[in-house]
Amino acid sequence: MFYTIYDAIIFEAAKNGMKEEDVKKVLKKKGLTSKDVGLLKNNCTTLLPEELLSIIFIEFGLTKLKIDLMLGNIPKEYEKSYLNNISEIANLLEKEKTEKRKSKKKSKIEFKTDRGKLYHADCLEILPQIQDNMVDLIFADPPFNLKKEYANGRSDDLTISEYINWSKKWLDECVRILKPGGSLYIYNIPKWCVYYATYLNSKLFFQNWIAIDMKNSFPIKDKYTPSHYGLLYFTKGVKAKTFNKQRLPIQTCRHCGGEYKDYGGYKYKMNVLGVNIADVWYDIFPVRNGKNRLYNELSVKLLDRIISFSSNEEDLILDPFGGSGTTYAVAELLNRKWIGIELGDCKVIKNRLLSPEKDKELLKKVNEEKNVLFTKKSIKLRKKNGYWLPKEE
């Protein structure tokens, strides 16, 4: 299925050996500006003259009905015919699905520990090999499709339709292997989170859209400045099987130690373990280690929070896009079992798991700054500047 008319045109043109650049040249000859092409890419065809659309469709051997079907829309006048042939359509698709599964080969394990296994492969090769209802927690940080070129020759430059259709495949597998009551978290930019949430709403139960504050974001022309990543939280069932509540310190000024909020005048009566964690996470900072920064490295604090909230010791965790291996490193230290998959270079992950000292230090610091009302640093500043502290302090 396609999500934009532009993608449908590209697909049809490819049957005749045309590349995207060729299609753009033809559209330009037919009178379309770059702005008009942008409208096609966003399905805003009501802003284009019908005569121009007809010329484009004829040029690429398309009709309005064909376009509708390619976009997954069934016009009302054809609904009866479509429904009368559902069995034939379903049989055709099931046959193709069976043939694909038969052709799957078992992949070798690249690296393993007492708790986990790492596969050097495409996640769509490994996920189908995992049994139904087997995993307690899934965290996925898929490529953002921002046209990046990776060292191993992979390109992160798909059309909207290609990206969403690819996403549906691994999402379906994640839903299948997740245990009843299990949790699925997806980390991405809001643009793709919208598509993910729409698709998953028919398969899992939506719990939260968590906004992770993006530090030092840059303005984009003609748009609001992006200032958060999205973290979608879904469960396989109305309620999560595991939800271990955690708390955070009061947010204070790093210069004087004073609190940012007055908490309705009840700050003196607050829980000594801190405040409840809301759906806006302001304390997850980008990993900045200069030249020592690992490829696609995620914050240890982010993974500790997710894993601690939504799993228990000995639970099984899966991350289909390993990156630098943060999920696996934290899972190891928190006594969780794990399954890892990474299409790119696995050397970084293996080295990290073999030398966990840095992650142990980071995790120690994370633990010191949760389930307390004030951090050690803020307590010191508050004492110095005469701010109130709980009696225990």
Q: DSSP for 237-293? A: SSS-S-----EEPPPB-TTT--BS--GGGTGGGS-TT-EEP-SEE---PPP--GGGP
Asked whether residue 263 carries a pLDDT value surpassing 80, the answer given is no
Structural domain of 119: 107-242+279-354
Mean pLDDT of the chain: 89
270 lies in a domain?
A: no
Do 317 and 223 lie in one domain? The reply is yes
pLDDT at 240: 97
Beta-bridge mates of residue 338: 116, 317
Pair of tokens at residue 388:
């109130």
Q: Which of these three, 56, 72, 88, is where a domain ends?
A: 72
Contact in structure between 232 and 207 (CB atoms under 8 Å) = no
Q: Would the CA dihedral through 381, 382, 386, 392 be positive or negative?
A: negative
- For residue 269, what pLDDT band results from cuts at 50, 70 and 90? confident
Tens-digit pLDDT profile for residues 132-185: 999 999 999 999 988 776 555 566 788 889 999 999 999 999 999 999 999 999
Do 171 and 219 lie in one domain? The reply is yes
CATH number at residue 316: 3.40.50.150
pLDDT at 295: 47
211 lies in a domain?
A: yes
256 lies in a domain?
A: no
pLDDT at 351: 96
Do 64 and 115 lie in one domain? The reply is no
pLDDT at 105: 64
Asked whether residue 296 carries a pLDDT value surpassing 70, the answer given is no
pLDDT at 276: 92
Residue 74 is given by DSSP the state: -
Burial 126-143 (b: 16+ CB within 10 A, else e): bbeeeeeeebbbbbbbbb
Do 219 and 293 lie in one domain? The reply is yes
Count the domains in the chain: 2
309 lies in a domain?
A: yes
146 lies in a domain?
A: yes
177 lies in a domain?
A: yes
Do 155 and 238 lie in one domain? The reply is yes
Cα atoms in the 13 Å half-sphere on the side-chain side of 26: 17
Do 159 and 207 lie in one domain? The reply is yes
Which of these ranges, 66-75, 98-107, 163-172, 351-360, has the smallest mean pLDDT? Answer: 98-107
pLDDT at 48: 86
Which of these ranges, 27-31, 32-36, 66-70, 214-218, has the smallest mean pLDDT? Answer: 214-218
Pair of tokens at residue 329:
């490193």
Do 204 and 325 lie in one domain? The reply is yes
Percent of the chain with pLDDT over 90: 62
Do 122 and 206 lie in one domain? The reply is yes
Asked whether residue 121 carries a pLDDT value surpassing 80, the answer given is yes
pLDDT at 155: 67
Pair of tokens at residue 391:
């009696």
Percent of the chain with pLDDT over 70: 92
Tens-digit pLDDT profile for residues 320-353: 999 999 999 999 999 999 999 999 989 999 999 9
Asked whether residue 290 carries a pLDDT value surpassing 70, the answer given is no
Do 171 and 28 lie in one domain? The reply is no
102 lies in a domain?
A: no
What average pLDDT score do residues 4-22 get?
Answer: 91
388 lies in a domain?
A: no
Do 338 and 229 lie in one domain? The reply is yes
Asked whether residue 217 carries a pLDDT value surpassing 80, the answer given is no
Whole-angstrom CA distances from 220 to 154, 225, 226, 261, 319 are 26, 6, 8, 31, 31
